[in-house]
Amino acid sequence: MSHIPAVSTAGQLASVYRVGRSESPSSASAATPRAADRVELSDEARALSQLALDPPIREDLVSRVRSEIEAGTYLTDDKLDAAVNRLLGSLPSPEA
């Protein structure tokens, strides 16, 4: 049976952080100016963020309208008149 020596990281740490050093690693980096952190968002991330702000889809309404369109009962004269009136009301009035 072979003998496996114990693993020690003390020597490795001593080479990274000099033992007995008067200056800590954080104080050395504090003397040098650091660049400001930045975050860049992709167009896809911005779009997903906007989707989270949009109101939820009203599945019940979508389902009802689809059914009415398939049955041929969705478009009625009253609905068309209401849509035309809303459209005309949203247009700027002609200047006289």
Is residue 53 assigned to a domain?
A: yes
The pLDDT score that the predictor gives to residue 4 is 63
Distances (CA, A) of 90 to 24, 79, 82: 68, 17, 12
Is residue 50 assigned to a domain?
A: yes
The pLDDT score that the predictor gives to residue 33 is 76
Is residue 36 assigned to a domain?
A: no
Is residue 48 assigned to a domain?
A: yes
Residue range 5-44, pLDDT digits in tens: 555 555 544 455 555 555 555 555 556 778 889 999 999 9
CA dist 48 and 54 (Å) reads 10
Is residue 20 assigned to a domain?
A: no
Domain coverage including residue 66:
43-90
Q: Model-level pTM?
A: 0.35
Average confidence (pLDDT) over 61-85: 94
The pLDDT score that the predictor gives to residue 52 is 85
Q: Work out how many domains the chain is built from and give that number.
A: 1
The pLDDT score that the predictor gives to residue 11 is 52
